Each structure stands twice: as structure tokens, then as C-alpha cells.
Amino acid sequence: MNLDDFMGGLVRRNPGQEEFHQAVREVVASVIPYANQYPKYERARILERMTEPDRIIIFRVCWADRDGNVRVNRGYRVQFNNAIGPYKGGLRFDRTVSLSILKFLGFEQTFKNSLTTLPMGSAKGGSDFNPRGKTDVEVMNFCQAFMTELSRYIGKDVDIPAGDIGVGAREISYLFGQYKRLSGEFAGILTGKGLSFGGSPVRIEATGYGCVYFAEEMLSTRGESLEGKRCAVSGAGNVAMYAACKLAAAGAKVVTLSDRGGFLHSPGGFTEEQLAHAMDYKASRRGDLAGLADEVAAEHHPDGKPWAVPCDIAFPCATQNELTQRDARRLLKNGCQAVCEGANMPSTNPAADAFRKAGILYGPGKAANAGGVATSGLEMTQNAMHLTWSREDVDRRLREIMASIHAQCVEHGQDGDGVDYVKGANIAGFIKVADAMLAHGMV
């Protein structure tokens, strides 16, 4: 099998879905040379099957705004692959949501979930609904309308959604409440739930914490630690803030945070108190980071990205394609030694290639941010057992899972003297799903 022929066919079948093409190209570039050694994969057309979702559900979401006007949005659920477990993946509410974005995220989720060592298939969903500027009642109206349709397609052993951009604790709670009302049952059909109704300790922190644990694993291969390292973090949402807090607690200096309005720069590093304050400020939806600059003694740069700031490690934790080739060159020029992705596909493919070519430590999102879905898997286990583990227990399991993901990347990503984490994550994630699909026959 040849990369260009494969991609030619994929692009023809999925016209205009650029993010999906990008995600597939990144994966198959490392998987094809591996799969070509085993004719069983080509005979069963495993890669063609893995790049075609099991099904895509698209539906109308009709809700009333604060003035009683009828609003119409589009809802989606892409059920990508359930070869190794029930469909699992987040919901995104953002005006940029499209089929291409959700297919890229669902495809990435296949490999990520496989790496977690837990039995979870892959999915992604969401809507072009924009929660920014909406009242709580509007968000509730939307969530109830969205779940009324989605509820037909999910279930605790079928498909278990979670949060993502624009879907946090508030939205998960409204979605859960509506499912419970419609079905009459209290079931673990969502993860990221509140602690008082079946949520897991550490789930909210897990993606950010897991990303930092992965960075520690990567650094340890070079005899390094986080202590004193200047870390440029992008984003100021769930992933970014918990990554930033964990970094500060580990002795690193978090020098940036960002949002859609620009970025904050604190050359000496934000204190843990300043980070806790920033988290409260963003969580209470008081405004953009610009309004916080004086309170946390930082400079605000409107409309910029943090990648020109000198740093030792970059943690892109906002959104896809936020770090371009130009940004990568700047980071490398300024001596950046590692990039650890909290977001999904935050680096464009040319940016990722620049990091790999430079031989710095580069942890791709599907490995480095898998702690979130892994802890969702632990939430599902607790729900099935009707109990709640302690915070220490869940955090210890999260650390172990991140260490195991790192070990799988090292095993399959050997490249000269170093480790190519992209290759390692893609091949390790592929083997488990592909072998399960082979075992199931032509389904």
C-alpha cells in the first residue's frame, strides 16, 4: 500500500474535509510502512475500514432563546469504531463544529482510546451551538433539545459521550438530567458527571494532569525533570488550567496562558495562587484574560499566540492547528526542548514534522492528552461497580496509565537513538484495534 494512493482515495471519498484528511495523513504515514509488513491487514482492507466511521448521525436541534425566538442548530454524533469497546468520545459545542472537525476528532479517538489500555471504542459529537454569551437557561434549553435526539443513539454499553470544548460540568449536568428524565433510569451514559451523581474524582483535572505526567515521562528519558522549566501553555479552559496548576505544583514556571482574545505573559511564571484565581475567573465566565492582566501582574498581548515567548517546553492546550510551522520554527529557535500536546492536533503536520526533524521530545495529543478519556473509562468502571474510588486511587491509576502509554510509544517508536512518539502512538494504537477487527471478521 502506498501513502499517496491511499490519501488520494480518502480525499476523493471525503471532499472538503481538510481536518479529517490531515488527521488521517498523520496516522497512515507511520502505519502504512508497518502494516505493509503484514499482508493480513491489506487483505482485510483494515486501513480503509478504520478511516470510514461505523455511522454518522446528524440531527436538527430546535430550542428557544431568552426572548422566545426559535433557534435552530445542527447536532452530530460520529460513531467511529467499536472494535475494542463501546463508542466513547466527547461532545463539542462551538460555532466552528463541522463534520470534518468531528471526523478528525473521532478518528484520533480510535488510537487514543486504544492506547489507554481500557476497553473503549471511539466517537465524537457536538453542535455548531456557541455557548458564549448565552444565559444558563438558554444553555439548558439547548442541552435538553440536543439530548432529546441524541438519547436514541447512546447507552452505557453502546456509546458514552463526555465533554470537550464548550461542554464542561454545567453542560454535562443538563445533558445527564435530560437523559434521566427521558429514560427514567439513572445510568452512566455520560462521563465527567458531578461527584454527587456518579462522577469520578480527578476526571475534571485528568486531561491536564495526565499531559503533565506524560511530559515527566518524556523528560525522564533524557534525565530531566520539570523543576525550573519555563512552560508556555496555550488555552485557559479545562485542559490548560489543570495542566498549568500541575506544572506549577511540580516546580515548573508557567509563563503564558491564552484564550480567543490573546495571551497573558508572566516572564517569572504565574504563582499557584494566580493560576487558581485565573481558573475561577474563566470558570465564572467573567470575560477574556485581558481583564485579568493587572490582577495577576502579567502583560496581555491581544490577538497573539504564546509561541514567540522563550520557553523550555510548550503545552498547546487550546484547539486544533493553533501551532503552525512558523510557530514551530520560532519555538525551536528560542531553544524549546519539548512539546506536549494537551489539545487534539494543535500542531499542523508541517509543525509536527519540524519538531520530529529537530529531535526534540514531541508528545502528540493522542498519547499526551489520553488521561481524560482514560479517567472517563475509570468513571465507567466505578459506575458499573456502583462505587466511588478515592481521589488518591484514581490519580495513581491515571499516572500508571500515562506511564503505560509512554512505554507503548517507546516500544513502537524507536527511531535511531531516540523515540518518535508520533510513530509509536500511531502503531501501538493501530495494532490493538486492527487485530480486534481482524478477529471479528468482515463487519
Considering only residues 270 through 299, tell me which ones interact with ligand NDP, judged by CB under 6 A. 282, 288
- Answer for which of 342, 364, 413, 429 binds ligand NDP (CB under 6 A) is 342
CA-nearest of 107, 161, 172, 167 to 365 is 107
- Answer for which of 319, 337, 348, 382 binds ligand NDP (CB under 6 A) is 319
Residue type for 164, please? D
d(CA 344, CA 317): 8
Sorted by sequence, the CB contacts under 8 Å of residue 246 that are 6+ apart come out as: 205, 208, 209, 212
Stretch that binds ligand NDP, among 66-74, 224-232, 234-242, 291-299 (CB under 6 A): 234-242
Catalytic residue flag (residue 124):
yes
User: Is residue 323 at the binding interface for ligand NDP, with CB under 6 A as the rule?
Assistant: no
Report in angstroms how near the CB of residue 57 gets to ligand NDP at its nearest.
20
* Choice between 46 and 192, CB closer to ligand NDP: 192
* Choice between 164 and 312, CB closer to ligand NDP: 164
User: Is residue 318 at the binding interface for ligand NDP, with CB under 6 A as the rule?
Assistant: yes
d(CA 347, CA 344): 9
d(CA 331, CA 282): 27
* Choice between 85 and 364, CB closer to ligand NDP: 364
User: Is residue 106 at the binding interface for ligand NDP, with CB under 6 A as the rule?
Assistant: no
User: Is residue 425 at the binding interface for ligand NDP, with CB under 6 A as the rule?
Assistant: no
User: Is residue 236 at the binding interface for ligand NDP, with CB under 6 A as the rule?
Assistant: yes
Annotated catalytic residue, options 124, 229, 246, 366: 124
- Count of chain residues binding ligand NDP (CB under 6 A): 24
User: Is residue 239 at the binding interface for ligand NDP, with CB under 6 A as the rule?
Assistant: yes
User: Is residue 408 at the binding interface for ligand NDP, with CB under 6 A as the rule?
Assistant: no
* Choice between 35 and 318, CB closer to ligand NDP: 318
Report in angstroms how near the CB of residue 357 gets to ligand NDP at its nearest.
24
User: Is residue 348 at the binding interface for ligand NDP, with CB under 6 A as the rule?
Assistant: no
User: Is residue 337 at the binding interface for ligand NDP, with CB under 6 A as the rule?
Assistant: no
User: Is residue 237 at the binding interface for ligand NDP, with CB under 6 A as the rule?
Assistant: yes
Considering only residues 157 through 216, tell me which ones interact with ligand NDP, judged by CB under 6 A. 163-166, 168, 207
Burial class (CB in 10 A: 0-12, 13-18, 19+), 48: middle
Query: What string of H, E and C letters represents the secondary structure of the chain?
Result: CCHHHHHHHHHHHCCCCHHHHHHHHHHHHHHHHHHCCCHHHHHCCHHHHHCCCCEEEEEEEEEECCCCCEEEEEEEEEEEECCCCCEEEEEEECCCCCHHHHHHHHHHHHHHHHHCCCCCCEEEEEECCCCCCCCHHHHHHHHHHHHHHHCCCCECCCEEEECECCECHHHHHHHHHHHHHHHCCCCCCCCCCCHHHCCCCCHHHHHHHHHHHHHHHHHHCCCCCCCCCEEEEECCCHHHHHHHHHHHHCCCEEEEEEECCEEEECCCCCCHHHHHHHHHHHHCCCCCHHHHCCCCCCEEEECCCHHHCCCCEEEECCCCCCECHHHHHHHHHCCCCEEECCCCCCECHHHHHHHHHHCCEEECHHHHCCHHHHHHHHHHHHHHHCCCCCHHHHHHHHHHHHHHHHHHHHHHCEECCEECHHHHHHHHHHHHHHHHHHHHCCC
Report in angstroms how near the CB of residue 273 gets to ligand NDP at its nearest.
20
User: Is residue 344 at the binding interface for ligand NDP, with CB under 6 A as the rule?
Assistant: yes
User: Is residue 369 at the binding interface for ligand NDP, with CB under 6 A as the rule?
Assistant: yes
Stretch that binds ligand NDP, among 144-152, 238-246, 271-279, 410-418 (CB under 6 A): 238-246
Report in angstroms how near the CB of residue 103 gets to ligand NDP at its nearest.
14
User: Is residue 91 at the binding interface for ligand NDP, with CB under 6 A as the rule?
Assistant: no
Stretch that binds ligand NDP, among 218-226, 336-344, 347-355, 410-418 (CB under 6 A): 336-344
Q: Are 207 and 369 in contact (CB under 8 A)?
A: yes
User: Is residue 238 at the binding interface for ligand NDP, with CB under 6 A as the rule?
Assistant: yes
- Answer for which of 343, 378, 394, 405 binds ligand NDP (CB under 6 A) is 343
User: Is residue 260 at the binding interface for ligand NDP, with CB under 6 A as the rule?
Assistant: yes
Please identify the residue of the shown chain whose CB is closest to the bound ligand NDP.
237
User: Is residue 424 at the binding interface for ligand NDP, with CB under 6 A as the rule?
Assistant: no
Report in angstroms how near the CB of residue 35 gets to ligand NDP at its nearest.
26
d(CA 350, CA 285): 35
* Choice between 6 and 89, CB closer to ligand NDP: 89
Which residues form the interface with ligand NDP (CB under 6 A)?
A: 163-166, 168, 207, 235-240, 259-260, 282, 288, 317-319, 342-344, 369, 372
Q: Catalytic site residues?
A: 124
